[in-house]
């Protein structure tokens, strides 16, 4: 149990988010003033300021009553507005109800504009900072008409009103500047996202052209050996093009959903084989470089299994990507004849698998030829993004 997550209710919001920060600040604005009120309540009772003691007790109970409903039943904005209203009413009451530490409450007026803009933003904050100002005017009218007696001299009240207005205006200017800067930054990020998506889209299209050229050239070749080479190169380019397709269609422009990406590669390979490819891919994301390398490994390993594992029949090939504590484990397993280790290690496909495996974060390759062939690639979760 941590202070921020459990005591200050940060656990209900994503880590690092502005909402989580606001939730923590709301909790602090309930706990800290309440602690001060408890101390002041004790002194008010001790020195027989019973009216303000009752008001403080009601204020504390009101705050905690609403706070118990946050955030399950009350959102951040609703709770923020309740805080502003409760604090405004309480602080305005302290201007005419006697208290042992009455002057101390004057300090808290300056926090109201800060709270209003921080929690409610530029547009709504403007409205909520006006409420205490209206309260000042109403109190002044009541005092002039003799309904209440203010605790402070008129000059001090005017100074307090002017000070509050100045602080509110300064906060308004700062919040307006922050709001404009944030809008410009958001617009810039959105433009960059569109640009990246367009780049990935064009890259994928260029790869499609390359695949078309290779396939066209392969039609002019009669030798099956060279046709096979052309087909292998087309599959490699296609596996890389799936990354860019995933990026321009997805939400992120720099992270690849490995489940969708690898399933696309396996679906493409399934079209050219009678063997059944069975996949179990976790929903994980990797950076562009690691995604392409992993996709090429899968393409080469499964292509190798399709070509060499089984002599006849309709068998199956298992492909899995799993999170094992602080590592990912990619496994490609067939139950066929296995392969000649020395011969296969001389092939381009096996060379690619070896080189690409070690290029992954702390990547490690293991090959077992017991009861078929099992290729396993281990790499750390923290990769390049």
Q: What is the pLDDT of residues 240-280, one digit of tens each?
A: 777 767 666 666 667 888 888 889 889 888 887 888 899 99
> End-to-end alpha-carbon separation of the chain, Å?
31
pLDDT number for residue 248: 65
Parallel, antiparallel or unpaired: strands 285-287 and 255-257: antiparallel
- Residues 365/369/371/376 CA torsion (nearest 10 deg): 10
Q: Would the pLDDT of 221 be above 80?
A: no
- Summary mean pLDDT of the chain: 84
- Predicted local confidence at residue 384, as pLDDT: 42
Determine the average pLDDT of the residues in 101-126.
85
Instruction: Among 3.40.50.410, 3.30.565.10, 3.20.20.140, 3.40.30.10, name the CATH number for the domain at 256-385.
Output: 3.30.565.10
- Mean pLDDT across 141-152: 91
Measured distance CA(302)–CA(262) in Å, rounded: 11
pLDDT band at residue 215, thresholds of 50, 70 and 90?
confident
Residue 347, judged by CB atoms within 10 A of its CB (0-12, 13-18, 19+), counts as middle
CA Rg value for the chain: 34
Question: What share of the chain has pLDDT > 90, as a percent?
Answer: 31
Residues 1-8 have a mean pLDDT of 80
Residue 170, both tokens: 């300064």
Q: For residue 178, give every residue at least 6 positions away whose Cβ sits within 8 Å of its Cβ, in sequence order, or none.
A: 122
More confident of the two residues 83 and 274? 83
Q: Do the Cβ atoms of 13 and 20 come closer than 8 Å?
A: yes
Token output for 277: 């490819």
Under the banding of pLDDT at 50, 70 and 90, the label for residue 31 is very high
Give the three-state DSSP class for 380.
strand
Please state, as a whole number, how many other Cβ atoms lie within 10 Å of the Cβ of residue 121. Answer: 16
Higher pLDDT, 316 or 197: 316
Portions of the chain given CATH number 3.30.565.10: 256-385
Indicate the angle between helix axes 154-219 and 224-249, nearest 10 degrees: 160
List the single range of 13-17, 25-29, 235-239 with lowest mean pLDDT.
235-239
The backbone torsions φ and ψ at residue 273, rounded to the nearest 5 degrees and listed phi first, read: -140, 150
Span 310-366, pLDDT tens digits: 666 678 899 999 988 788 999 999 887 755 544 444 577 788 889 889 989 999 999
Percentage of the chain lying above the pLDDT 70 cut: 90
Place of tokens 């702390």: 362
Q: Tokens representing 123?
A: 């547009």
């Amino acid at each position: 149990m941590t202070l921020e997550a459990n005591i200050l209710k940060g656990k209900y919001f994503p880590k690092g988010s502005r909402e989580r920060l606001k939730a923590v600040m709301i909790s602090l604005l309930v706990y800290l003033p309440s602690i001060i009120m408890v101390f002041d309540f004790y002194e008010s009772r001790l020195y027989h300021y019973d009216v303000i003691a009752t008001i403080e007790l009601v204020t504390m109970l009101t705050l905690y009553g609403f706070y118990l409903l946050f955030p399950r039943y009350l959102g951040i904005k609703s709770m923020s507005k309740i805080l502003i209203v409760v604090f405004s009413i309480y602080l305005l009451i302290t201007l005419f109800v006697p208290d042992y530490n009455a002057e101390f409450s004057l300090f808290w007026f300056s926090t109201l504009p800060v709270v209003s803009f921080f929690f409610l933003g530029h547009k709504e904050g403007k409205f909520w900072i006006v409420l205490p100002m209206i309260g000042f005017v109403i109190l002044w009218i009541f005092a002039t008409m003799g309904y209440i007696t203010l605790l402070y001299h008129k000059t001090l009240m005017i100074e307090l009103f002017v000070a509050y207005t100045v602080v509110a205006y300064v906060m308004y200017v700062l919040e307006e500047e922050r709001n404009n800067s944030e809008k410009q930054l958001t617009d810039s990020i959105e433009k960059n996202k569109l640009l990246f998506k367009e780049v990935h889209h064009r890259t994928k299209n260029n790869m499609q052209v390359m695949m078309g050229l290779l396939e066209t050239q392969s039609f002019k070749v009669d030798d099956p050996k060279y046709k096979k080479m052309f087909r292998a190169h087309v599959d490699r380019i296609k596996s890389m093009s799936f990354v860019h397709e995933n990026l321009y269609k997805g939400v992120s422009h720099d992270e690849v959903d490995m489940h969708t990406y690898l399933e696309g590669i396996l679906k493409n390979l399934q079209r050219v084989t009678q063997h059944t490819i069975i996949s179990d891919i976790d929903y994980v994301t990797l950076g562009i470089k690691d995604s392409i390398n992993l996709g090429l490994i899968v393409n080469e390993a499964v292509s190798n299994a399709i070509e060499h594992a089984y002599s006849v029949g309709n068998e199956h090939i298992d492909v899995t990507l799993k999170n094992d504590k602080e590592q990912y484990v990619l496994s490609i397993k067939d139950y066929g004849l296995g392969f000649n280790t020395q011969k296969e290690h001389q092939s381009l496909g096996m060379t690619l698998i070896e080189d690409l495996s070690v290029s992954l974060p702390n990547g490690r390759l293991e090959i077992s030829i017991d009861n078929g062939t099992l290729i396993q690639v281990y790499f750390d979760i923290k990769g390049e993004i």
